[in-house]
Chains A and B, each alone.
Chain A
Amino acid sequence: MSRNKAFIIAGLMLVTAVVAGWLIAKQFVSVDQTREAPLIELQNNGKQLAIPKVGPDNTVSVKVYFPDFVKLQTADGKTREAQQVAGLNVVERMVKSDFSPLRVTEAALDEFFKGLGKGFEGAKVAALFKDRHNVVYVDMTAEFLKGFNMDAADEYNLMRAFYRTATANSGAEDIKILVAGKEIESFGGHFFGFYPMKETFGM
């Protein structure tokens, strides 16, 4: 009798242990499967980007697009020849950067604003990050808005060039601009700044 009792108790304990183990395992697996992807991806998950060309002194090549109202000049003041893409001038420049697409993009945008010159002297990228939908957020310094003393067509082509420069070097699906960490209603009073750029400027 006591032997049968011992078997029953041992059997119950075994069943309890199996059920408990199954419940615990289920809990962990379940949490792992439903957890959302992190807001900021640390690795590029966008379009296939060609590895940039490498130059001396830790430089890499970037593509920078300019609207046609910007005069492109060489170091000695001569007009620079540029390839035309979708009505924009595109030039390849060597900039100091590592191979991180976001750092390359930041360097390309700095080149973009240097090329624009008058009105955009103080404009710089303050921060750059990418969300899980591969939208790159470009946070600009407040000086960015000071340069928008232009008519609608010029503003359109300027923002198209910005968009192309940012996407060409980051592989982003879309670009969203912030100014001093905040969303803005409009850049120069002609176009929305609230929304990602692709729909309006991605043509």
Chain B
Amino acid sequence: MKERGLIRAGKHHNYFRIVIETSESNTQKASVVFGKNNTINIDFRSAIRISTSKGDEVKQEKAIDLLKGVRISGSGAKYVITVDGLDDISVSKLSLPSRIVIDAYYLKNSQQAQKDNQPSAADVSVLFNSIVIDPGHGGADIGITGATFKEKEFALAFSRDFGAIISKKGKTAVLTRKSDQSLSLADRIKTANKRNPDIVISFHLSSKPELAVYSYSKALKKLGESSGADADKESGSADHSAALNIAATVKKELSINTRHEKLPLPIIKYTAMPAFVIELPSPDHYKYDKKTREAMMNAIIRGLKTNE
């Protein structure tokens, strides 16, 4: 006999809260992944029957509206929730009663954007499937220091959080270093080339109150194309539009000065895939808290939308 679950949803300022009440084991086993095309994919690992608070049973063939802009369909172990303009999700698993709580953040103008037949920010935020994140410096190489920070520590913490956001969207994120360790540039490049991700980003700190994006002569490959060094890398005919777009998006969304420059940095030059070095504004000049860090990370992810 299939286990049962109850789903309900509520609208908040900039997110929908979706709650699924089910048994403790279903709650713990379930995986919730931010998918493509405004979807949240839930896999309970074993079959379950989900009903709405009105008593309607969720089925595969026809999606049920939970709220305006929020729909669910599915059967067995797998269900899909679609949220118009979905930008990000936050997932919690709680007890008494055991339940999964999904906060689905949405973009307010997404419906108009879809009417205009343009990709929404949520679409472009997941254009790469895998990333190697390189926290700059480490170990004896401290990097820039300020009154309250060391670059090696800041880069590691920021990279970890950035990786967590990417993972939450169902993508693969690998860090070149996970602790305060000395790591040569050659080893960072080896890790990136061995993992062969869609993209590499190395995080550093700027000594100035601005964000800098460095690129070299490689073009962003389109999704679906094979990875590896290609003619663009050698020809120097690469475009730097993705780097420019990261800088422009951060400037627009966070109102801070940004800069793009072409530099032959080894982590960019000798990796076989599109790579960027991003220098974040110094904490001496920019206030980092939970909100601004997340806004910075989301702006960088959205800035990669020129991968089209």
Residue positions of A touching B, CB distance < 8 A: 149-154, 156, 185-186, 188-192, 200
Contact = CB atoms under 8 A, between A and B. Distances in A.
Contacts of A185: 184-186
A191 B265 CA distance: 6
Contact of A151 (B144, B184, B264): B144
B212 A153 contact: yes
B261 A151 contact: no
B214 interface: yes
A152 B262 CA distance: 11
A186 B184 contact: yes
B228 interface: no
Contact of B263 (A156, A186, A189): A156
Contacts of A150: 144, 207
Contacts of A188: 141, 143
Contacts of B266: 191-192
Q: What 6 A-B pairs come out closest when comparing CB atoms?
A: A189-B141, A189-B137, A151-B206, A151-B207, A185-B184, A200-B264
A151 B208 CA distance: 9
Contact of A192 (B143, B185, B261): B185
Contacts of A151: 144, 204-208, 212, 279
B137 A152 contact: no
A149 B265 contact: no
Contacts of B186: 185
B179 to A, nearest CB: 16
B207 A154 contact: yes
Contact of B279 (A149, A152, A200): A152
Counting chain B CB atoms within 10 Å of each CB, which of A152, A185, A192 scores highest?
Answer: A152
B263 A152 contact: yes
A152 B207 contact: no
A119 B105 CA distance: 47
Interface string B263-293: 1111000000000010100000000000000
B87 to A, nearest CB: 31
B74 interface: no
B193 to A, nearest CB: 16
A186 B185 contact: yes
A151 B277 CA distance: 11
A86 to B, nearest CB: 15
A153 B261 CA distance: 8
A192 B264 CA distance: 10
B204 A152 contact: yes
A191 B186 CA distance: 10
A200 B205 CA distance: 22
Contacts of B277: 152, 190
Contacts of B205: 151
B136 interface: yes
Contacts of B207: 149-151, 154
